[in-house]
Amino acid sequence: MSAEVRVAVAGASGYAGGELLRLLLGHPTVSIGAVTAHSSAGEPLAAHQPHLLPLADRVLVETSAETLAGHDVVFLALPHGQSHALAAQLPDDVVVVDCGADHRLTDALAWDRFYGGQHPGSWPYGLPELPGGRDALRGARRVAVPGCYPTGASLALAPAVAADLVEPSVVVVAASGTSGAGRAPKPHLLAAQVLGSASAYGVGGVHRHTPEIAQNLSAAAGTAVSVSFTPLLVPMSRGILTTASAPLRAGVDLAAARTVYEKAYADEPFVRVLPEGQWPETSSTVGANTALLQLAVDEVAGRLVVVSAIDNLTKGTAGAAVQCMNLALGLPETTGLPVVGVAP
């Protein structure tokens, strides 16, 4: 790991960009090159990311192919729709890790329905813990980092649908902190609105992460999986607590389900099926690239219920991005990635 990897972060003024930089500062073989932004170009990075003390002297430069040139790895943490054109201008041998949605969906119809316009195509999908998910990422030069909700939901349900523990019809309700909504100031994200309040949004299957969850679970299941997804906004900064359930196949009990999950994640460094009786809390994952899971079988209702906790900015975005960079570069997958949360 002696050779230094030079990385750039586009969108460094936002939350995903800040988390990327936080993690990259702790990565032993990385050196941080350009930090770019658009409307904040020319401003000190510290005005936007005051917690990144070692980068306090950095200045944001304009996001462009020129400023991003000359790096081994380019992380894109841009508003949806901006990655495609920019990435096209970067050399093929540069590792481009896109935290945006542009290249996640393989289905052009789903793209059109949820994002609209020309389908920009798909890239290797950055959730190595999905069945077979790691293969396409080793040595990849383009990576689409999953959405935060799809990460929580897919890790919670993929083993169940892959092992046919449940019918391919799942209900996902996920409570998220507000950093997942980004840093652009919007009235409903004001602290005074969010503090003391819980709300749902994108209800009825209209949230853009719905087809991504369905894509992941259908691939895992080998058959189309129906997904009812409802995201909730709750008064915290980070974290997604996902509650996922589906009708149990006949004869599946908790022991069988646990065996499937434990086997599925036995070798995963970042996914942990908790001991029985211990339920995930998002606080345990704050700042860590981990996903914590627990299962229950509701015999009366006949459903498997799985709960997962992640930090939307870490395993849900920037941590996954670094994990994928490691795979792309042939580094040990866990390099530079914390597994200990900052709690309480």
Stretch that binds its own copies, among 64-72, 96-104, 136-144, 173-181 (CB under 8 A): 173-181
128 binds its own copies (CB under 8 A): no
Instruction: Tell me which DSSP letter residue 60 carries.
Output: -
| Structure-token match 């990565």, residue found | 27
CA contacts within 13 A on the Cβ side of 151: 35
- Annotated active-site residue 148? The verdict is yes
∠ CA 30-126-108, rounded to 5°: 135
Candidates 220, 286, 322, 331: give the one binding its own copies (CB under 8 A). Answer: 286
> Are the CB atoms for 23 and 318 separated by under 8 Å?
yes
- For residue 73, the cross-strand partners are 7, 95
Q: Which of residues 252-281 bind its own copies (CB under 8 A)?
A: 272, 274-275, 278-281
Candidates 307, 324, 327, 329: give the one binding its own copies (CB under 8 A). Answer: 307
Candidates 62, 162, 302, 335: give the one binding its own copies (CB under 8 A). Answer: 302
187 vs 330 by CB, closer to its own copies: 187
88 binds its own copies (CB under 8 A): no
Report phi then psi at 328, rounded to 5: -65, -35
Which residue type does 206 have? V
Q: CA 96, CA 4: separation in Å to the nearest integer?
A: 17
Q: CA 64, CA 41: separation in Å to the nearest integer?
A: 11
Give the distance from CA 65 to its chain's centroid: 25
228 binds its own copies (CB under 8 A): yes
Candidates 179, 317, 323, 326: give the one binding its own copies (CB under 8 A). Answer: 179
Instruction: Sketch the per residue contact string, 152 through 171, with its own copies: x for CB under 8 A, - otherwise.
Output: -----------------x-x
Q: Which of residues 37-56 bind its own copies (CB under 8 A)?
A: 44, 46-47, 49-54, 56
120 binds its own copies (CB under 8 A): no
List active site positions: 148
